[in-house]
Amino acid sequence: MELKEKIRKFIESNLVVFEDEAEFSDSDNIFEMGFVNSLFAMKLVNYIEEDFGIEVENDDLEISNFSSVNRITEYIESKKSA
């Protein structure tokens, strides 16, 4: 649970979400909501690498690994246990 909260906080404070009412659930695809730009993408990758001590390989840079709070959490967990 704690990991999810951290990810959600990061996304909320770094994504440019235009409308205040644009809430998203842990399973919502943040890419399809149209919020992701280059800078956010890079910040997200750096955040995962620095805060969780993971090296995100190019092969892992698939939208499917980063498309929602749930997916990012799963990705980090799988890397940590690997």
Partner 1 sequence: MTVTESKKEVKCVVWDLDYTIWNGTLAEGDNIQLKPGIKEVIRTLDSRGILHSIASKNNYDDAINKLKEFGLEEYFIYPEIHWNTKSGSLAAIRENINIGMDAILFIDDQPFEREEVKSVHPGITCLDAVEYKTMPDLPRLNPRFITEDSKRRRKMYQDDIKRKKEEDAFEGPSEEFLASLHMKFVIHEAKEEDLKRAEELTVRTNQLNATGKTYDYDELNAFRASGTHKLLVCELTDRYGSYGKIGLALIEIKAEYWHLRLLLMSCRVMARGVGTVVMSHIMQETKKAGKKLQADFKKTDRNRMMYVSYKFANFKEVSSDDEGHILFENDLTMIQPFPPYIDVKIL
Task: Using CB under 8 A, pick the residue from 27, 39, 78, 80 that binds partner 1.
Answer: 39
Q: Does 36 bind partner 1 (CB under 8 A)?
A: yes
Sole residue written with tokens 């498309």: 67
Q: Which residues contact 30 (CB under 8 A, 6 or more apart)?
A: 11, 15, 24, 36, 67, 68
Which window, 3-11, 27-35, 68-76, contacts partner 1 (CB under 8 A)?
27-35
Q: Tokens 């909260």 appear where?
A: 5
Could you give the angle at which helices 38-52 and 69-81 cross, rounded to 10 degrees?
A: 40
The residue within the footprint of partner 1, chosen from 9, 34, 77, 80 (CB under 8 A), is 34
Q: Which residues bind to partner 1, rule: CB under 8 A? A: 16-20, 31-32, 34-42, 45, 58, 61-63, 66
